[in-house]
Amino acid sequence: MLPTRRTFLLAFCALVFCLSKPVAGQNAVDQTQQVHGVWVSSVSNIDFPSKPGLSADKMRSEADALLDRAVELRLNTIFLQVRPMGDAYYPSKIYPWSSFLSGEQGKAPDENFDALGYWVEGAHKRGIQLHAWVNPYRVTVGRKNLEDLAESNPARQHPEWTFKHGDRFYLNPGIPEVRDLVVRGMVEIVENYDVDGIHIDDYFYPERNIDEDKETFQKYGKGFDDIEDWRRNNVDLLIEAAGKAIHAARPNVAWGVSPAGIWANKSSNPLGSETRGNQCYYNLYADVRGWIKKEWIDYVVPQIYWHIGFEIADFKILTDWWSDVVKDTNVKLYVGMAAYRVDPNSKTEAWRDPDELTRQLEYLAQSPEVDGQVFFTAHSFKPGAPACTPVETYGKNNW
């Protein structure tokens, strides 16, 4: 008989809380604290709010429900997506209001509801850290033209700062003004909100096979013979500058990145992992290993979204690889875990097993370099969701 969804949740929750290290303090950069976190996604209204155009009271109610759920599960850190697509979940002088709040980009939500401010206050009241999660380069999802954006959107005001790849527009990482814009946007958050961290995910260049930035390379690529090295350097410049600016504005704010789980395959780079998957160093131009070694970031959350024993990208192999990278640095390692994959109806046998995440958490618990985990996504932790029960059982008793 197949396990029920509640069986999955019980196994998962019981696990997370039993195996974790003690929690101490409330500051995100407290080096003694283990992070038990969850991503709250706003793009396409995945987690919050449930749909655009809600009243301010309804959005407060939904935020409170998610925050209370985190308390119930004894999660101590929330990564809230506050700038999903060149727009903002807070009143900004740089970016327009998000369409995922009001239904129309640039239009204020009901009562000018400041979602970030409400979440920060609500999280801290509950003893939870709040990291503001921003997407640095993405401009459109589902919009065909820049003219569909709010007039105040920087991408519409400066179309020369963008390129289109596939059916999406992106800010061009090779343009200095773009990097300055992204950094200023992060500093604006830090200066106006008592956030515990600034966080970005795995969206850098969209993929390796692009040619939309060749003219930019001709203009700004002096000193580089290889356009791919130049692209990596562009992302390096952003990461280094952002860390310096954030810490200059507020030294106690943590600066972290959640990259794709594979930096490079060993077949491509002798420093890489024994894997055969998508490589963020080569395909997204993100040299996360270099950022860690140079200590440009405070923490890293690799998205190790594969099961133990997966021959292309094994969870244990990648956990060991990232553990080795952060060893002897001041960069903290929190492992990104695929709560969303747990499902008794999954096409992958491993994810139909309610003990898969249990085994992963047990492995993390005996990995000395791992200082926590972050689950994707909050939707998976709603009562009745396939991944929820393990957290329910674990969190109440054992963090």
What pLDDT is stored for residue 141 in this prediction?
82
Single out the residue of 125, 34, 95 nearest to residue 365, CA to CA: 34
CATH number where 349 lies:
3.20.20.80
Query: Beta 332-337 vs 197-200: how paired, if at all?
Result: unpaired
153 is a domain residue: no
Dihedrals φ, ψ of 37, to 5°? -120, 170
Record the pTM.
0.92
373 is a domain residue: yes
Are the C-beta atoms of 24 and 30 separated by less than 8 Å?
yes
What pLDDT is stored for residue 367 in this prediction?
95
255 is a domain residue: yes
What pLDDT is stored for residue 143 in this prediction?
73
What pLDDT is stored for residue 30 in this prediction?
47
167 is a domain residue: no
Single out the residue of 357, 322, 314 nearest to residue 337, CA to CA: 357
156 is a domain residue: no
What pLDDT is stored for residue 106 in this prediction?
97
What one-character DSSP code corresponds to residue 258?
-
Range of the domain at 219: 5-141+173-398
Single out the residue of 311, 315, 313, 288 nearest to residue 299, CA to CA: 288
What pLDDT is stored for residue 392 in this prediction?
56
What pLDDT is stored for residue 319 in this prediction?
98
Distance of CA 59 to the CA centre of its chain: 22
146 is a domain residue: no
Q: How far apart are CA 224 and CA 208, in angstroms?
A: 17
Half-sphere exposure of 244 (CA within 13 A, CB side): 8
What pLDDT is stored for residue 303 in this prediction?
98
DSSP helix/strand/coil, 244 = helix
148 is a domain residue: no
The segments of the chain whose pLDDT lies below 70 read: 1-32, 388-399
What pLDDT is stored for residue 385 in this prediction?
76
What one-character DSSP code corresponds to residue 77?
E
What one-character DSSP code corresponds to residue 286?
-
β-bridge partners, 375: 38, 337
Question: Where in the chain does DSSP place strands (E)?
Answer: 35-40, 77-83, 129-134, 162-165, 168-171, 197-200, 254-257, 299-300, 332-337, 370-375
What pLDDT is stored for residue 232 in this prediction?
98
222 is a domain residue: yes
Give the count of domains, the chain: 1
DSSP helix/strand/coil, 303 = strand
| Burial status of residue 270 (CB atoms within 10 A of its CB: 0-12, 13-18, 19 or more) | exposed
Single out the residue of 294, 284, 192, 171 nearest to residue 243, CA to CA: 294
